[in-house]
Amino acid sequence: MIARRLVVAVALVVALAARLGAARADEPPSGAAAALGDYDPSSKAWNGMATFVKVAAGLGYEVIPVGALEWGDLDERDILVLVYPLQRVEPSNLAAFVQAGGHVIVADDFGDSAAALSRMGLLRAEVNTAEADRYYRSRMYAPIATPLASGNPLVRGVAEVVTNHPAVLTEVTGATPILGFGGSRGAVVVAGERGTGRFVVVSDPSILINRMMQFPGNMNLAVNMLRWLDRGGRARRVILLRGDVPMYGEPRPFIDDANLTPFGRNMADINRWLEGRNEWLLTPIAMRVIGALVAVALAALALVAMPPWRRRVIDGAWLGPPRRERRDLASRVVAEHDAGAKNFLIPAAVLRDSVNVALARAVEHVDPLYQLPERELVSRVADRVGRDAAAVVARLAPRLRALPTRVHAAAPWTRGRLSERDLTDLYDDAASLYRHLGEPPLDARAPEA
């Protein structure tokens, strides 16, 4: 009797296991389970990436998974593939790599690439359920993305792509939405060019796992991405970074000047110089120095241009009593901005730099908004000031980090936009933060240089 019961129990367990295995083969896995699989490039399990590696090898690439990334080791022969990075992708490094001629795929839904994507002009939103026209087998966690750019080489042979708990790219600037859910419901795949490099952003890395690559559209998309980034045989290697992998150093310029025209060579030099100066220009000290030099230059030009008969001794009679009008920082910088403009990027950048200086005093760290990871910044503020201030920083820091430098905001070619309402929201949070930090109110402060 005991032996019979044991046989029946074993049979039930085997049947249950077979049923669960069949269910896994029929439907995409959950996003959390895929994350636990670590996207192992050598794994043939449903959540590994052995299929993607074989596809890349079949196209003639040498696939190199890395346990650490040195940006300076990359060159124009490499296609960098970042899959669900758990360590911060430095925005300046990613932008500089593409600008110099590099090619990259960023496949990330909930990893630590949001700041880098923002620098590239993309805003990623984490949603519980993406709104789509269709879902795979009516499962709400598997919305189906369709082409948004017909005729684009990335959608050749791609009628649809099955996703799995995706994030969505809600704002796209300077790039082309390739696949998404239609209308204003967001994109899943975006592609663009910067400098002499190309980039593809996929807001659902599960598209590249073995199980999901069984869908024809997903497979064709992977092939198309690699071919588009190849640029006629230019690339030779696929550098695969996944999960919790550290990244060091800075990208090096590797544009082949010998193949450029004199004009192209000059433009490449200018691009390199601007990219190298960009992060330096973010520091408050650098902005003060630039402001002082500009003020001196303008004063010298005014003295030279002033006619001799207008040069009279200033007796100080024009100095009257100080005006009692109080103008807060937001009003002041908006007034200094072009009165007819609808883009408030410049005053927002000024406000961001002012907050950065206040945070630097509070946490005793130079340039905390850009030198400290967001979690560490919030933790330091909580330890030194309190949880209320930390909550404001957690809400405010991502929006401030997404703003361009003052130089980029003022450039005539900038495509970034910021409404007056958004500026007002930033100012309200900044004023709240100043109160928590014990700083003088914004309406009593002089603007940061």
List average pLDDT for each run of 10 residues in the chain, which is 449 residues long.
44 39 45 56 92 94 93 90 94 90 93 91 87 91 92 94 93 92 87 91 94 95 94 86 91 60 58 50 58 81 64 50 47 48 78 85 82 85 88 87 76 73 85 84 51
Instruction: Assess if residue 382 is contained within a domain.
Output: yes
**Continuous H helices in 37-90:** 50-58
Strand partners, 253: none
Going by the DSSP 8-state scheme, the letter that residue 232 receives in this structure is: T
Instruction: Assess if residue 87 is contained within a domain.
Output: yes
Chain centroid to CA 23: 36
Residues 254 and 370 in one domain: no
CB distance 269 to 97 below 8 Å = no
Domain boundaries, position 200 = 28-258
Residues 415 and 376 in one domain: yes
Residues 218 and 339 in one domain: no
Residues 212 and 345 in one domain: no
Residues 124 and 242 in one domain: yes
Q: What pLDDT is attached to residue 266? A: 60
Instruction: Assess if residue 357 is contained within a domain.
Output: yes
Instruction: Assess if residue 273 is contained within a domain.
Output: no
Number of domains in the chain: 2
CB distance 170 to 209 below 8 Å = no
| Measured distance CA(144)–CA(159) in Å, rounded | 10
Q: Token match 């269709």: residue? A: 134
Q: What pLDDT is attached to residue 313? A: 53
Last residue of a domain, one of 224, 241, 258: 258
Residues 373 and 233 in one domain: no
Residues 296 and 232 in one domain: no
Q: Where are the beta strands (DSSP E) in 69-196?
A: 69-70, 78-83, 103-107, 122-125, 144-147, 161-162, 168-172, 176-180, 187-194
Q: What pLDDT is attached to residue 264? A: 55
Question: What does the DSSP assignment read for 148-181?
Answer: SSTT-GGGTT-S-EE-SS--EEEEESSSEEEEES
77: CB partners within 8 A, 6+ apart: 234, 235, 236, 237
Residues 335 and 437 in one domain: yes
Residues 244 and 340 in one domain: no
Cβ burial of 222 (10 Å; 0-12, 13-18, 19+) is buried
Q: In CATH, what number is assigned to the domain containing residue 211?
A: 3.40.50
pTM for this entry: 0.54
In single-letter form, the type of residue at position 11 comes to A
Instruction: Assess if residue 52 is contained within a domain.
Output: yes
Instruction: Assess if residue 83 is contained within a domain.
Output: yes
Annotate 113-124 with b (16+ C-beta within 10 A) or e (fewer).
bbbbbbbbbbbb
Instruction: Assess if residue 279 is contained within a domain.
Output: no
Residues 290 and 374 in one domain: yes
Instruction: Assess if residue 124 is contained within a domain.
Output: yes
Residues 352 and 416 in one domain: yes
Residues 360 and 250 in one domain: no
Q: What pLDDT is attached to residue 8? A: 40
